[in-house]
Chains A and B, each alone.
Chain A
Amino acid sequence: MSKTFTLDDKRIPFEDGQTILQAALAASVYIPHLCYHPDLEPHGSCKLCTVKVGGRQTAACTLRAAEGMAVESDTGEINAQRLALVQMLFVEGNHFCPSCEQSGDCRLQATAYQLGMLSPHFDHFFPNRPVDASHPDFLLDFNRCILCSLCVRASREVDGKNVFALAGRGLKTHLIVNAPSGKLGDTDFGGADKAAHVCPVGVILPKRRGFAVPIGERTFDKSSIADYVASRHGKRGGEK
């Protein structure tokens, strides 16, 4: 008999060491998240997966599950807060979905739909973030970066390359590339890297593959991110 905790009205089994989010996903229950990836160390920065445990809010991706825990997640109050967090990410960067190659495959966009976002609500910051097209096979469009650091972690933990890092502080935090020139073309980054495949938005894009799948037939055009994530985790025990 495995240990369980309750997530809203569901009983979720877990193994020792699993976080709330890991256990929920393994049980095909979706908790919104952007900076979490099953193959990488949890980060706890986007705060989309914030849940309420014992009246206190905490990130589900970093808190270990415990026997008998009562976790609230899919409530009006928490989802309203998640919506505001997604809106913050939209106004922080420059997200022009209609012209973005990642539209329909973008987790930020899909999460916004999931949470019922109809407008960015807050005033835009419109940061100046030049594009890096120096690499022969990949384009970096920093305008869409949400600072989840998945590429940083993938490059460090899986690829052993440290191609990316976060720099700056506060609202000026930004992604940088590990080269004296600061350009991706001057690194050993390649298409086989894990880091090339973890960006939840449209920062790291392969060149010469524009709109291979038409808008309307893309991942999140066909299913909501909740259904997509839950089904993939439940069936395969891992995402992507």
Chain B
Amino acid sequence: MEIQKNHSAYLDPILERHAHRATDLLQILRAAQEHFGWLHPEAIDHLTRRLGVPRAKIEGMASFYAFLHLQPAGRYRVLFSDNITDRMLGSAALRERMCRNLWIEPGKVSEDGLVSVDTTSCTGMCDQGPALLVNGMAVTRLDAQRVDAICDLIRNQAPLAAWPTEYFRVVDNIRRSDLLLNPGFIPGAALTAARQRGGQGLLHEIKASGLRGRGGAGFATAAKWEACRDAAGEAHYVVCNADEGEPGTFKDRVLLARHADEVFEGMTLCAYVIGARKGLLYLRGEYRYLLDHLDRMLARRRENHLLGASILGQPGFDFDIEIHVGAGAYICGEESALIESLEGKRGTPRNRPPYPVTHGYLDQPTAVNNVETFVATCHIALAGGAWYAGIGAAQSSGTKLLSVSGDCARPGIYEYPFGISVRQVLDDCGAADTQAVQVGGPSGTTLATHEFDRLIAFEDVPTAGAFMVFDIRRDMFEVARNFVHFFAHESCGFCTPCRVGTSLLRNLMDKLHNGQGSPHDFHEIEKLDRILLSASHCGLGHTACNPVLDTIAKFRPAYELRLQQRRFVPAFDLDRSLQTARQMTGRDDGATHLHDEGSVR
């Protein structure tokens, strides 16, 4: 790309669109990068001047997000999804194949500045992987042939618009529908029903429904809305958390693709109850490809008086929704980090209390709910709380969308009433010889065969929706190691225990992987787990040890296989540390290897 001296040419219209609001900084940087490919220092100069934000703050913010680049990252930026399900489908070999084909090293930009190939956390395409992102757009169902074809397209510098559309096709794979996924919702119907009941009446129905937040924690939705409504503030805000970053989860992607009307209508219902005039939907960067579709849906709702001023012709019922797009940070799924990100900052979880219901977006009362929760409220508004409370389990009313992936014949989205057994789900998705299921993603629970009669419900196995299946061929140690790498990569770095502890844990798991583990390392892992659990700032640190604790408890042989029966083995391997020297000298003969007891053969 030629050096464009005049960065103001593309930045000024972007700044105009965002009314020069410094709180929109992340959105401004995203737009700037989509235009120029990366964030040029002179572009940052310009933004510093126009927004009055110190450049270190802009750089500090940009460097927090994996998808923003302060250095040229290649005209084609390829990121392979590195979730365990992608790996099980052969993503690592395909990535190597691409690197070999393009003659580049992973993680480095080619010398001509054309392309870089690296990995990223789960892109939410687990049911149609292996997947990658190219310049932020999702490519699914990779195989050797597709990878080779992509290499040719990159070498020939074909614009993404000229790539076969089939590559970018994302299918919904809905395998079992219930009340949320069944078609037939009429836009505006829930709002009309709500208006007949009034805000308090709607809140009453939601309370009666027993609806609990679908993001995983299960907080009562009515209690949240009520507390937010009653909190004093200059303005109230509705935020939809569509930062579906938990590896193995992709149900929000399907809801946004097929049921966006219900998502937006649920947000509008919330606005009606709490008295908000503005709503924000935080869409994870990996789902950037959905943005145009969602914007069209919003436009249509405005035309139909379901958004904007005087909704349904009711004077004073004014509400509109803005979409903010994330930029590759799992931590932004945590609601206070998400709000920081919406305000154009680093996605660091806030100190709580105060909670977002009283001090959220711009320090104002804010109701943050999951995509699926908002969809559920539409159906409660339509059919009433008592009806909804009759579905599902005692403490978990309604249905739950499960994102099923891994070793099964029919991966995809399954909607069940709460209280379904793990075994039933396994039967329905065509899983055979299953040894484990990871419910709720890496931060969730690893279930072994003797637990397959347990139930998906807040009172037994709670989940935000991930359901990854592992059959007897899989090495559960490697599954846990993949998750530990994920947490180390996604730790925000704010607090000491998580910033350092997740990396120490990753190194210990790698030590075991390399065959150098000793019983001593086991104690170390347990010690780190305790510190992460008790001293971390937020849920990421608290749960980062879950996959390790669970797999140690339930799949101990997978670990013991790797333990040398010596009291202590150093992580430092003399022979391996000579690898660089061997590479530099082009030698690999016996004389360049150490064969003493310090090396592991």
Residues of A within 8 A of B (CB): 42, 44-48, 50, 57, 59, 62, 81, 84-85, 88-89, 91-92, 122-123, 125, 146-147, 162-173, 176-180
Kindly state the separation between the CA atoms of A179 and B501 in the bound complex, as whole angstroms.
Answer: 32
- Given known contacts A44-B351, A168-B493, A180-B41, A57 and B499 CB-to-CB distance under 8 angstroms: no
Mind listing 27 A-B residue pairs with CB under 8 Å?
Answer: A46-B495, A47-B537, A50-B534, A59-B537, A81-B530, A81-B531, A84-B531, A85-B496, A85-B497, A85-B531, A89-B496, A122-B500, A162-B57, A163-B56, A165-B57, A167-B59, A169-B66, A169-B329, A169-B346, A169-B492, A170-B490, A170-B491, A170-B499, A170-B503, A171-B499, A178-B55, A180-B45
B527 nearest CB neighbor, chain A only: A84
B504 close to A (CB within 8 Å): yes
Q: B483-526: which residues lie under 8 A (CB-CB) from chain A?
A: 488-497, 499-504, 507
Beyond A85-B535, A122-B500, 7 additional pairs, beta carbon < 8 A: A45-B537, A62-B351, A89-B500, A165-B56, A165-B59, A167-B63, A180-B41
Does B64 touch A at the CB level, under 8 Å? yes
Say if the beta carbon of B323 comes within 8 Å of chain A.
Answer: no
Q: Contact: A166 with B60, CB < 8 Å?
A: yes
B382 at the interface (CB under 8 A from A): no
* B496 contacts A45, C-beta separation under 8 Å: yes
> Is B216 part of the binding interface, using a Cβ–Cβ cutoff of 8 Å?
no
A171 B503 Cβ-Cβ under 8 A: yes
How far, in angstroms, from A50 to B496 measured CA to CA in the complex? 11
CA–CA, A125 to B527, complex, Å?
19
State the CA gap A50–B502 with chains docked (Å).
18
The smallest beta-carbon distance between A64 and chain B, in angstroms, is 8
Chain B residues 414-451 with CB under 8 Å of chain A are none
The reply on B571 being an interface residue by CB < 8 A is yes
Q: For the complex, give the distance between the alpha carbons of A122 and B506 in Å.
A: 13
Residues of chain A contacted by B537 (CB below 8 angstroms): 44-45, 47, 59
Q: Which of A48, A85, A173, A177 has the most CB of B within 10 A?
A: A173
Give the distance in Å from the alpha carbon of A42 to the alpha carbon of B352 in the complex.
12
Name the residue on A nearest B500 (C-beta).
A88
Inter-subunit contact A170/B488 (CB<8 Å)? yes
Q: Which residues of B contact A57 (CB under 8 A)?
A: 534-535
Give B35-72 interface residues, CB cut-off 8 Å to A.
Answer: 41, 45, 54-57, 59-60, 63-66
Q: Are B497 and A171 in contact (CB under 8 A)?
A: no
Q: How large is the interface on B (under 10, 10 to 19, 20 to 34, 35 or more residues)?
A: 35 or more
CB distance from B521 to the nearest CB of A (A): 11
Q: With A and B bound together, what is the CA distance between A178 and B60 in angstroms?
A: 10
Residue from B41, B65, B500 within 8 A of A171 (CB atoms): B500
A48 to B500, CA, bound (A): 14
Q: Which residues of A contact B501 (CB under 8 A)?
A: 88
Chain A CB within 10 A, most for which of B60, B489, B501, B503: B60
Residue A122 contacts which of B41, B65, B504 (CB distance < 8 angstroms)?
A: B504
Q: Is the CB of A171 within 8 A of B488?
A: yes
Which residues of chain B have a CB within 8 Å of any CB of chain A?
Answer: 41, 45, 54-57, 59-60, 63-66, 329, 346, 351, 488-497, 499-504, 507, 527, 530-531, 534-537, 571
Chain B residue with Cβ nearest A90: B500
B106 to chain A, nearest CB (A): 17
- Cα–Cα, bound, A85→B501 (Å): 9
Return the 7 tightest CB-CB contacts between A and B, nearest first.
A173-B493, A178-B56, A165-B56, A88-B500, A165-B60, A162-B54, A167-B60
Which residues of chain B come closer than 8 Å to A123, judged between CB atoms?
504, 507, 571
Q: In the assembly, what is the distance between CA of A179 and CA of B54, in Å?
A: 9
Contact status B500-A177, CB under 8 Å: no
Residues of A within 8 A of B507 (CB): 123
Q: Quick one: which of A91, A167, A176 contacts B500, CB cutoff 8 A?
A: A91
Query: Once the chains bind, are A88 and B504 in contact (CB under 8 Å)?
Result: yes
Q: How far is the CB of A16 from chain B (nearest CB, A)?
A: 15
Tell me the bound Cα distance from A92 to B497 in angstroms. 11
Give the distance in Å from the alpha carbon of A162 to the alpha carbon of B60 in the complex.
Answer: 12
Q: Which residue of A lies closest to B42 (CB)?
A: A180
Residues of B within 8 A of A88 (CB): 496-497, 500-501, 504
Q: With A123-B571, A165-B59, A169-B63 given, is the CB distance from A50 to B493 under 8 Å?
A: no
Q: Are B60 and A172 in contact (CB under 8 A)?
A: no
* B352 nearest in chain A by CB position: A62
**Quick one: closest A residue to B54, CB to CB?**
A162
Specify the chain B residue showing the minimal Cβ separation from A148.
B496
Q: Shortest Cβ distance from B17 into chain A, in angstroms?
A: 26
Q: CA of A67 to CA of B301 in the docked complex: distance in angstroms?
A: 51
Contact A169:B535 (CB < 8 A) given known A89-B500, A123-B507, A180-B41:
no
Look across to chain B and name the residue whose beta carbon is closest to the beta carbon of A123.
B571
What is the minimal beta-carbon distance from B517 to any residue of chain A, in angstroms? Answer: 14
Q: Is B63 a contact partner of A168 (Cβ separation < 8 A)?
A: yes
Of the candidates B501, B527, B535, the one having the most CB atoms from chain A within 10 angstroms of its own CB is: B535
Residues on the B chain within 8 Å of A167, using CB: 56, 59-60, 63-64
Q: CA separation between A177 and B56, bound complex, in Å?
A: 6
User: Which residues from A are CB-within-8-Å of B65?
Assistant: 169
In the complex, which residues of chain A have a beta carbon less than 8 angstroms from the beta carbon of B494? Answer: 45, 173
Complex-state Cα separation, A91 to B501, whole angstroms: 11
Q: Are A81 and B534 in contact (CB under 8 A)?
A: yes
User: How far is it, in angstroms, between the C-alpha of A180 and the C-alpha of B495 when the chains are bound?
Assistant: 28
Q: Which of B329, B488, B502, B503 has the most CB of A within 10 A?
A: B503
A46 CA to B537 CA in the complex, in Å?
A: 9
Bound Cα distance A163, B60 (Å): 12
**In the assembled complex, which residues on chain B have CB atoms less than 8 Å from the CB atom of A162?**
54, 56-57
Residues on the A chain within 8 Å of B489, using CB: 170
